[in-house]
Amino acid sequence: MKFINRESELKLLAGTRRASHKSSKMTVVTGRRRIGKTRLILESLKGEQYLYFFVARKDEKLLCDEYTEQIRETLGINIYGEISRFQDIFELLLDYTKSQPITLVIDEFQEFNRINPAIFSEMQSAWDQKKDQTKMNLVVSGSVHSMMKKIFEDNREPLFGRANERLHIKPFSVNVLKDIIAQFQPDYSSESLLSFYIFTGGVPKYVEQFADKNIFTFKAMLDEVFRENSLLLDEGKNVLIEEFGKDYATYFSILSLLASSKTSRSEVESVLKKDVGGFLSRLETEYHIIRKVRPIFSKPGGRNIKYEIEDNFLHFWFRFIYKNKGAVEIGNFEYLKSLVMRDFPTYSGRFLEKYFTEKLALSGDWGEIGSYWEKGFKNQIDIVAINHLEKKALFAEVKRNEKEYSEQQLRFKSHQLQRKLGGYQLEYRGFSLKDL
């Protein structure tokens, strides 16, 4: 699939590269696996001379041998003798850029921590001494979010504060996904678009996998996920197990419960019989896998809280694949597909709500968007959008079938909000599958 979207990211990378022609600049690119970090970086360097170093899990000396050969081939530098320390390669390249600007890309940068943690302090020392006299565009990328955050945002770490730009790559928006499916299948149905949104979550690698095989219907997507040797069956484990380390079993159990509608801390703890506050906090603030959801207008310290998995595909993986790993192990894919088909009409409703929330956010018409419920999860309203400048508000219910929407019921559930928004122009709407 051709490279699409990412205009703002490309603009930022191009601007930083130009600025590095005066003095060295460092850019940190993060994002979950499969999000397209490497392809974005290389797309931004088309027509430019650059070095690309991938940090594989091997001895530092072996990495240096590979990097030395790349330097010889790309830059034509004669390097005599053997280099066994990355510090020497980094300083050599910095010195080279005193006369000739160049971009150095280091992919899976966090892996240096396994190979030789001293590399970070060695790079910091060389960078601080030479960045103002050199012209290196250093772009470092990593998929283990918690490690990359620690390396560059923990004030106890040597590279803290050294990055000139930080770029966190996010999934494609719902507008981009709609453009993609329309390009490949102009007569797509609303059900197909919703399924595409759920199965890919806007993650470019999954989008590409479906697009390359022209898979755009719910049934075809289901067949692609649940088949022998499907790469998607192990994807949740591949994406997250390195993040979580030895505690992965507890984190996976929590995520499986959240995906199965146990969305409050008390519900999770009642099943696991343990305190999960610390785990939930790390999943939110350190790993950025879940987010805390409060009713709109609620106080920040209130306990009326739900949690949800942000990544659509991971939500699906924990709900249907991890939860039924026994069936996956024995290859009973027809059973798994039957489970999904049975539960999908109910399961997909949450993502229909999420889709319209994203659409409203992209419209630029609203300053605050959220959901609403009262104590005990009573009087729940799917979407509340507010524009305080124009003093207007939107209350919306999301139903797969538009016939299930009742404006009278929505008005009743919003009576507390109506009092809070005295003087505002109030609009009541129902969104359904057909509105996609």
Given a cut of 90, is residue 232 above it in pLDDT?
yes
The pTM (predicted TM-score) of the whole model is 0.91
Give me the DSSP letters along 105-120: EEETGGGHHHH-THHH
CA atoms within 13 A on the CB side of 377: 7
The string of pLDDT tens digits covering residues 267-288 is 999 999 999 999 999 999 989 9
> What class has domain 233-330?
mainly alpha
Given a cut of 80, is residue 302 above it in pLDDT?
no
Given a cut of 90, is residue 211 above it in pLDDT?
yes
The string of pLDDT tens digits covering residues 368-409 is 999 999 888 889 999 999 999 999 999 999 999 999 999 999
Topology adopted by domain 7-168: Rossmann fold (3.40.50)
Question: How many angstroms separate the CA atoms of 431 and 426, rounded?
Answer: 16
For the chain, the structural domain boundaries read 7-168, 233-330, 364-435
Return the DSSP state at 172: P
Give the pair of three-digit tokens for residue 71: 């330097």
Alpha helices in 201-234 (DSSP H): 204-212, 218-225
The string of pLDDT tens digits covering residues 96-136 is 999 999 999 999 999 999 999 999 999 999 999 999 999 99
Q: Which amino acid is at 384?
A: V
162 contact partners, CB below 8 Å, separation of at least 6 = 26, 124, 127, 128, 152
271 contact partners, CB below 8 Å, separation of at least 6 = 257, 262
**Strand bridging mode 306-309 / 290-293:** antiparallel
The string of pLDDT tens digits covering residues 126-151 is 999 999 999 999 999 999 988 999 99
Strands (E), 7-64: 25-30, 50-54
Beta bridge partners of 387: 392
- Angle among Cα 109, 3, 13 to the nearest 5 degrees reads 50
Least Cα distance to 112 among 159, 173, 179 occurs for: 159
